[in-house]
Structure 1
Amino acid sequence: MTFSWNPPDLHDRTFVVTGATSGIGRATATALARAGAGARVVLAVRDVDKGARVAAEIPGETEVRPLDLADLSSVRAFAEGWDGPIDVLVNNAGVSVPDLRRSVDGFELQLATNHLGPFALTNLLLPHITDRVVTLASQAERAARLDLDDLERQRTPYKEFRTYAGTKQANLLFSAELQRRLHAVGSPVRTAAAHPGFVATGMSQGSGGLGGLMTRLLAQSPEDGALPVLYAATADLPGDSFTGPEHLMHMRGGAELINRSATAKDPDLARRLWDLSERLTGVTFLALRP
């Protein structure tokens, strides 16, 4: 089953898109806002001034709210300031950094931004979410060697791509375990993960050498990269779906359901990662908050 973006009726639906000031996040927010009168798109961003400039260029009803996923106090403030339903939360924001850096909470920065922040945000917002949670992952997860005993790179050498791949595998494990927990409590909320393919964004365009050449020759636009995200956010898909592009080994064009690595399907690993993430963030599963 393939997908082309034919916007459904999004009247009176609220979407929260993290990292919506550039790249895939901006393309996703723009497409959702343009899809139909009445949709409300909230840009959850670190730089609210930049967010306001972006929102001014997007047609439809938009709102900008501050959110730094690498700062758990910012995540909590965003959740505490929310009132009303959220139809779809899109965990889009992510980073890849060349050297070992720490978040304000002391976590390795990619882990903090790409996994722990979205983990905490999603759980804190679950009492408000009515339809689904979409988390951006990547086929890079197939190169991961996720070590739950050293997630924060305290002992093993830091390697940018390997660390990034590990966070993307964590995204898939998180999505699967969240769906299991939601199903166990009878919640109608669904989860989905999306792989945008090979996209020319700020993260990829900064690379040089062969990587830079491949980006210039093969990378698709953020608008095309947003198609699997829009598919995951609006199509009638089963819980814990994984979407990606249709062509060039799921790297370009369109959107369809795709597979993931055997490790990313491991339910025991997903449960152990969840338990560790709860300990690190201090945030637990809140779907049944009174």
Structure 2
Amino acid sequence: MWTSKDIPGQSGKIALVTGANSGIGYETALALFQAGAHVIIASRDQCKAAEALKRIEVIGGKGTLETGLLDLASLSSVKAFARSIKDKHGQLDLLINNAGVMTPPASKTADGCELQFGVNFLGHFALTAHLYPLLKQAPAARVVTLSSGAHKLVQQIDFENLRSEKSYDANREYAISKLAVLQFALELQRRLTQAGANIISAASHPGVTQTDLSRHMSEKDYNAAMEHFKELMPAWQGALPTLFAATSSGLIGGSYYGPDGENELHGYPAVAQISEAAQSEQDASSLWDFAENVIGTKFPID
């Protein structure tokens, strides 16, 4: 049973966690800080990021902290944030693509994409692309991107509806965003290997965890989910698959981790099941081309 107590020392490493002001992101940042890392708390709300930093400092640990303003729903914000990180730091050892939004009312990013696809996938794709030069400077960097068991609910991405041109279904769009995220993590590893980069890309999912991600769910849907899942894990436990992927020794690139319990809903880190759709190299390549065209940046290039 792997827990945060098994995290090896992270002194000298720089870690960036998106959405680190609450929930799983907060617990991930806290654990890395306690293990000695310099942790960048990235959030779209500067006040909440500062509050999270203070809470972590009160708990105490071996590391250091800073905050950064990052709005994943705006590609210009992502680019500006990445530029500020590159101005401050010469390398990045851990990039944790954690932040996310789930089943909001129909809405779009500043760049016109459906919000869940834009934040959960496209914003993180852009962030990883812009920070790639720093990842290359680290001795053995890792990128961990959070997906969900919901990725299994859809079989393909409709590229003609990523701006809600046809219709909007909150649950479907969430599942599509998480399929995109997992395809991205696997395709990133393939491209890193081809480029000869000493960087590992992995993915994780938290199972069913008590966070504010469910804030957009109706009371009816939330109660139905609770009846189905029975119980929710605390956020610190939901963060463990991410922490395992970020820090465990001997990790294989392209790995995917989640809870080890029945249907991967509860438990402790173990290899998780990847759907056939998520493993499609052809679909992942199409997704990559789409994303590069939208953000106007190609990577990895060595």
Q: Same fold (TM over 0.5)?
A: yes
Q: How many Å apart are 1:214 and its aligned residue?
A: 4.1
Q: Within the alignment, does 1:140 sit opposite 2:150 as a pair?
A: yes
Counterpart position of 1:90: 96
Instruction: Name the CA distance, whole Å, in 1 between partners of 2:131 and 2:41.
Output: 15
The one-letter amino acid of 1:111's match is F
In terms of fraction of residues, the more helix-rich structure is 2
- Structure 1, unpaired ranges of 5+: none
In the alignment, the residues of structure 1 paired with residue 224 and residue 54 of structure 2 have an alpha-carbon distance, to the nearest angstrom, of: 33
SS at the partner of 1:265?
coil
Any idea what SS the aligned residue of 1:79 has?
Answer: helix
Q: Which residue of 1 aligns with 2:272?
A: 258
- Picking from 55, 65, 82, the partner of 1:57 is 55
Instruction: Judge conservation of contact 1:138–1:194 (CA < 8 Å) in 2.
Output: yes
Query: CA–CA distance in 1 between the matches of 2:29 and 2:114?
Result: 28
Among candidates 99, 104, 119, match of residue 125 of structure 2: 119
SS, match of residue 264 in structure 1:
coil
Q: Secondary structure at the match of 2:26?
A: helix
- The structure-2 alpha-carbon separation of the partners of 1:215 and 1:191, relative to structure 1 and needing over 3 Å to count, comes to same
2:2 paired residue number:
3
1:77 maps to what in 2?
Answer: 80
C-alpha root-mean-square deviation of aligned residues, in Å?
Answer: 1.5
* TM-score between the two structures when normalised by the length of structure 2: 0.90
| Distance in 2 of aligned mates of 1:182 and 1:14 | 20
Residue 280 (structure 1) shift: 1.4
How far apart, in 1, do the equivalents of 2:207 and 2:159 lie?
27
d(CA) in 2 for partners of 1:11, 1:275 = 37
Task: Indicate the SS of the match to 2:93.
Answer: strand
2:256 aligns with: 242
Aligned equivalents of 1:255 and 1:97: distance in 2? Answer: 26
Q: Which residue identity lines up with residue 7 of structure 1 in the other structure? A: I
SS at match of 1:197: coil
Deviation at 1:235, TM superposition (A): 1.0
2:220 corresponding residue in structure 1: 209
Please give the per-residue CA displacement for 1:219-263, whole angstroms capped at 9, x wherever unaligned. 111111000010110013100100000112111121011121000
Residue range with higher mean Cα deviation, 218-227 or 93-102: 93-102
Structure 1 letter corresponding to 2:164: R
Shift of 1:283: 2.0
Offset at residue 105 of structure 1 (A): 1.2
Identity across aligned pairs (percent)? 40
Distance 2:214 2:262 in 1: 18
CA apart distance, 1:49:
1.2
Which is worse superposed, 84-93 or 211-220?
211-220
Whether the aligned pair in 1 keeps the contact of 2:145 and 2:202 (CA below 8 Å) is yes
Shift >3 Å, 4+ stretches:
213-217
Per-residue deviation, residues 14-52 of structure 1 (Å, max 9, x unmatched): 10000011111011101111123xx10000111111101
Contact 2:7 2:244 in 1 (8 A): no
Residues 215/223 of structure 1: CA separation in 2 closer, same or farther (3 Å cut): farther
Change (3 A) 1:255 1:128: same
Q: Which amino acid is the alignment partner of residue 211 of structure 1? A: Y
1:286 positional shift: 4.0
Determine helix, strand or coil for the equivalent of 1:63.
strand
One-letter code of the match for 1:259? Q
CA deviation after TM superposition for structure 1 residue 99, in Å = 2.1
Q: Secondary structure at the match of 1:89?
A: strand
* 2:295 aligned with 1:281: yes
Aligned to 1:154: 165
Q: 5+ unaligned residues in a row in structure 2: which ranges?
A: none
